[in-house]
Amino acid sequence: MKTLFNKIGISLFTLVLAFSLVNCKATRNANNKQKGAVIGAAGGAVLGAIIGNNVGKGGNGELGAVIGGVVGGTAGVLIGNKMDKQAQKIEEEIPGATVERVDDGIVVTFDENSGVYFDTNKYNINTASQETLNKLANVFVEFPDTNILVVGHTDNVGTEDYNMTLSKNRAYAVTNYLIGKGLQSGRFTTNWFGESQPMFDNTTTEGRAKNRRVNVAILPNEQMVEEAKQQAGQN
C-alpha cells in the first residue's frame, strides 16, 4: 500500500515533530516512536494531514475532543507501539486506503478509488462502502482505547454552500454507520470542510475524484495515555 508523509504547514500551530524509521509500510515514513522528551502539537500535524495546509472554516465538530499533544519519553514509545500495530492492521484489512502515521495519530484517507465513496450528489453508504467500513469498525473494536475524527470533503463542482452541506452529510453518514456497528458514540467527532480544503488539482478529473474524500483520524484517548504513563513511571 502506498503510504504518504505530508509536510504539514499550519499557521495556527508550531509543530515539533520527531520520527524514526521502522519496517511497517504504514509507519515507515512517519512513525511516532519518539526518543526523548518530545513536546509537540500533534493536533496541528493530524489536522494538517486531513485538511491540507490551511485550517478551513467549515464544520462544527470539536476537534479538541480527539486531538491533543504529543506524549514524549517512554510513554510516547508505548503509545507509538500500539498505534503502529493499529495502523498496520488497517493497512492489512483495507489495502485500498492510504494510511499515514502522524505523531501520535493515524490518518486514513478514503477517496473514490479506495473503498469508501459516494454516488454523485449522494451521501448514503452504498454496498461497496459498507464492506470497507465493516472492516474498519472491526479494527476499532480490536483497539478500543482511541478517539476517532471523521472529516468530509468535496471537489469544487457546484456551489460552495451546497458542497459544505454535502461534505457534512457524507461525514456524518460515515460516523453514524460506524456507530451503528456497535462503537461508542463518545469516541467520535465529526467535521466537514466542503470544497475549501483541496489536496489535489480540481481542474483535472483525477484530482477532483481524490478531493471527494473522507478522512478518518485515530488518536489515543485519555485512558491509553494514562496507562502508558503509569507503565513508564511518568506519573
Mean pLDDT on 72-99: 91
Q: What is the pLDDT of residue 68?
A: 65
Rounded percentage of the chain residues whose pLDDT exceeds 90: 39
d(CA 87, CA 146): 12
Q: Is the pLDDT of residue 228 over 50?
A: yes
Residues 151-165 have pLDDT tens digits of 998 999 999 999 999
60, part of any domain? yes
174, part of any domain? yes
Mean pLDDT on 167-174: 94
CATH number at residue 47: 3.30.1330.60
3, part of any domain? no
Domains of the chain: total: 1
Q: How confident is the model at residue 67 (pLDDT cuts 50, 70, 90)?
A: low
81, part of any domain? yes
Quote the domain boundaries for residue 150.
25-232
220, part of any domain? yes
166, part of any domain? yes
| Nearest C-alpha neighbor of 66 from the set 182, 126, 148, 169 | 148
55, part of any domain? yes
Q: How confident is the model at residue 233 (pLDDT cuts 50, 70, 90)?
A: confident
32, part of any domain? yes
pTM: 0.76
Mean pLDDT of the chain: 77
